[in-house]
Amino acid sequence: MQTKTYNTAPYDDQKPGTSGLRKKVKVFQQPGYLENFVQSVFNSLADFQGKTLVLGGDGRYFNRQAIQIIIKMAAANGFGELIIGRGGLLSTPAASNLIRKYHAFGGIILSASHNPGGPDEDFGIKYNVGNGGPAPEKFTDALYQNSKIITSYLIAQFDDIDLDNDAELEIDGLKIRVIDPVDDYAELMAEIFDFKLIKQSIAAGLLSLRFDAMHAITGPYAKRILENELGAAPGSVFNAVPLEDFGGGHPDPNMVHAHELTEIMFGDNPPVLGAASDGDGDRNMIMGANIFVTPSDSLAIMAANARLIPAYAKGIKGVARSMPTSQAVDRVAAALGLPCYETPTGWKFFGNLLDADKITLCGEESFGSGSNHVREKDGLWAVLFWLNLLARKRQPVEDIVHEHWQTYGRDIYCRHDYEAVDLAIANEIIDHLREQLDSLPGKNWGAYTVKFADEFSYTDPVDNSVSSHQGIRIGFTDGSRIVFRMSGTGTIGATLRIYLEKFEKNIRNHDQDAQLALAELIDIAEQLSRIKKLSGRTEPSVIT
């Protein structure tokens, strides 16, 4: 194979964040920028010659150009086989599945997930390892170091590959398979869930749904599985055609950005289930008629009912949640006698626990949940979990949630995001919080007394690696918590996140508006952080 070496100079900003490298498209379009990063990925790997790489993305603007470059770089660097989703498309969980199923060495996923797309918006790239999951911090640290000293990259000299038709090609010993992006994933879902029962329930009119694909990658997956295989009415899946700019919206499944779905679910004659997924198909929002299920509650409800799902019928090994996720799932784990792990934010921290079979289900407050079926969070999987649950329980979503609260109590929860804050101000806010930590325990605000205040540090129970500076936690004697974190996925300034949580055992207090119930904690959070004061904002950019 003819390859060419191109000289290059390093860029100093190629440090991967919570989930890969995310920058404005214009940044990625700088000469050699994408190439430097991809070569740095390969320079951080060993023993991949002749092996398989999975490639695909969420279809956002620049996906098509980027994938052709990566194909030629992977070829020049010595991979033996490339498995690529047709059109250059693969949802993140589908890519994870392909890596596992075909025993690939790893995969490259092109996505900035829930961030907007288009020529002036965001692009992203991430490397997944052989277990199908995001590369661990040890790898991303090495990759960043390599990106700072890179001097050249390699590109094979052949024409662009036709990605629009399924194909099996060979170029000088390199195999390229262009495959249907949905087939293998749909097959996996049918193995996990009771498709027959869901189909019967839909056909009998007991189950109905609307799924907002937000013009992102899950459109083709949801159409095929929900409408074609399970028989949901045509049009149940809407905004189903993936667009390079997601139709101009944020492909982020929450009530702010998936407002069309929200209006349906709070309108006249809503279906039994409402759901949405994000840009790359790993997030999910679950709604019922007139109710929004917080992702933290959704995880807890899944854990409590896992035995109703064929793949988990024999019971689950344990559960895990990211630190800022509410403690609702902890209560289920305690009641069922299951281990429960608290990890830093980001799916990469669940990989070791899943590989070691210490957990079966895991999730994050940020609309992500998943299981040991892949090593990424999985939006459509969560939707199918709920459909299966609803088919078994034959109850409205609202009743399932309320019954859950009756049994375990309710963890009233919300997150306030302050986006695009000046980085220096955001750092000052976090530093100021950090300085107060030692003096907080024992301090009172009304009924709230601080029990502990620390900066979260995680020691992985499998490989003992330590990840520090993972967010500021303030816990109160009644179990309430306030957590502060700086986002690792934003591309403009800094995004500050405040996570607020309060436990309510009393059934009579369960039907409260979260913002009202959390008002006192919201106030304490401002007193401690002075975010509004220092950033000059009067309210959060987004509340979820």
* Residues with catalytic roles: 113
Q: Among residues 411, 303, 282, which one has the least CA distance to residue 362?
A: 303
Could you count the other beta carbons within 10 Å of the beta carbon of residue 50?
A: 12
Q: Which stretch binds Co ion (CB under 5 A): 137-145, 219-227, 275-283, 454-462?
A: 275-283
15-34 residues near ligand VG1, rule: CB under 6 A = 18-19
**What's CA 511's distance to the chain center, in Å?**
28
Q: Does 487 bind ligand VG1 (CB under 6 A)?
A: yes
Euclidean distance between CA atoms 308 and 304, whole angstroms:
9
Selection from Co ion, ligand VG1, none that 370 binds (CB < 5 to 8 A by kind) is none
Nearer to ligand VG1, 310 or 488 (CB): 488
Q: Does 296 bind ligand VG1 (CB under 6 A)?
A: no
Token readout for 437 is 């930590």
Q: Does 489 bind ligand VG1 (CB under 6 A)?
A: yes
Selection from ligand VG1, Co ion, none that 345 binds (CB < 5 to 8 A by kind) is ligand VG1
Q: Which stretch binds Co ion (CB under 5 A): 53-61, 272-280, 315-323, 494-502?
A: 272-280
Q: Which of 247, 396, 479, 488 binds ligand VG1 (CB under 6 A)?
A: 488
Q: Among residues 344, 387, 336, which one has the least CA distance to residue 365?
A: 344
Contact call for residues 110 and 330 (beta carbons, < 8 A): no
Residues 492-511, mask of contacts with ligand VG1 (x by CB under 6 A):
-----x--------------
Q: Among residues 337, 297, 305, which one has the least CA distance to residue 321?
A: 297
Nearer to ligand VG1, 150 or 380 (CB): 380
Q: Which stretch binds Co ion (CB under 5 A): 226-234, 283-291, 442-450, 464-472?
A: 283-291
Bridging pattern class, strands 152-156 and 472-476: unpaired
Selection from ligand VG1, Co ion, none that 404 binds (CB < 5 to 8 A by kind) is none
Q: Does 282 bind Co ion (CB under 5 A)?
A: yes
307-326 residues near ligand VG1, rule: CB under 6 A = 322
Q: Does 114 bind ligand VG1 (CB under 6 A)?
A: yes
Q: CA end-to-end span of the chain, whole Å?
A: 51
Euclidean distance between CA atoms 165 and 360, whole angstroms:
36
Euclidean distance between CA atoms 16 and 454, whole angstroms:
25
Could you count the other beta carbons within 10 Å of the beta carbon of residue 96?
A: 29
Euclidean distance between CA atoms 66 and 205, whole angstroms:
45
Cβ 284 to ligand VG1 shortest distance, Å: 10
Euclidean distance between CA atoms 15 and 12, whole angstroms:
8
Bridging pattern class, strands 319-322 and 340-343: parallel
Region class of 316: left (phi > 0), else alpha (psi between -120 and 50), else beta: beta
Could you count the other beta carbons within 10 Å of the beta carbon of residue 24?
A: 16
Q: Does 347 bind ligand VG1 (CB under 6 A)?
A: yes
Q: Which of 91, 96, 343, 345 binds ligand VG1 (CB under 6 A)?
A: 345
Rounded (10°) CA dihedral 234, 225, 99, 490: 50
Contact call for residues 383 and 274 (beta carbons, < 8 A): no
Burial (CB count within 10 angstroms: exposed 0-12, middle 13-18, buried 19+), residue 7:
exposed
Nearer to ligand VG1, 155 or 243 (CB): 243
Cβ 93 to Co ion shortest distance, Å: 9
Which residue's CB atom is positioned nearest to ligand VG1?
Answer: 113
Nearer to Co ion, 23 or 283 (CB): 283
DSSP assignments along 386-435, one per residue: HHHHHHHH-S-HHHHHHHHHHHH-EEEEEEEEEEEE-HHHHHHHHHHHHH
DSSP character at residue 283: B
Selection from ligand VG1, Co ion, none that 18 binds (CB < 5 to 8 A by kind) is ligand VG1
Q: Among residues 159, 154, 160, which one has the least CA distance to residue 75?
A: 154
Q: Which of 14, 296, 298, 366 binds ligand VG1 (CB under 6 A)?
A: 366
Nearer to Co ion, 217 or 500 (CB): 217
Q: Which stretch binds ligand VG1 (CB under 6 A): 276-284, 299-307, 326-334, 470-478?
A: 276-284
Residues 95-134, mask of contacts with Co ion (x by CB under 5 A):
------------------x---------------------
Bridging pattern class, strands 81-89 and 52-57: parallel
Q: Does 113 bind ligand VG1 (CB under 6 A)?
A: yes
Q: Does 364 bind ligand VG1 (CB under 6 A)?
A: yes
Which residue's CB atom is positioned nearest to Co ion?
Answer: 113
Cβ 343 to ligand VG1 shortest distance, Å: 10
Cβ 260 to ligand VG1 shortest distance, Å: 20
# residues near Co ion by CB under 5 A: 5
Q: Does 278 bind Co ion (CB under 5 A)?
A: yes
Selection from ligand VG1, Co ion, none that 364 binds (CB < 5 to 8 A by kind) is ligand VG1
Q: Is 120 helix (H, G, I), strand (E, B) or coil?
A: coil
Which ranges of 274-350 would DSSP assign to H, the alpha helix? 295-305, 328-336
Q: Does 278 bind ligand VG1 (CB under 6 A)?
A: yes
Cβ 322 to ligand VG1 shortest distance, Å: 6
Interaction site with Co ion (CB under 5 A) = 113, 278, 280, 282-283
Binding site for ligand VG1 (CB under 6 A): 18-19, 113-114, 278, 282-283, 322, 345-347, 364, 366, 368, 487-489, 497
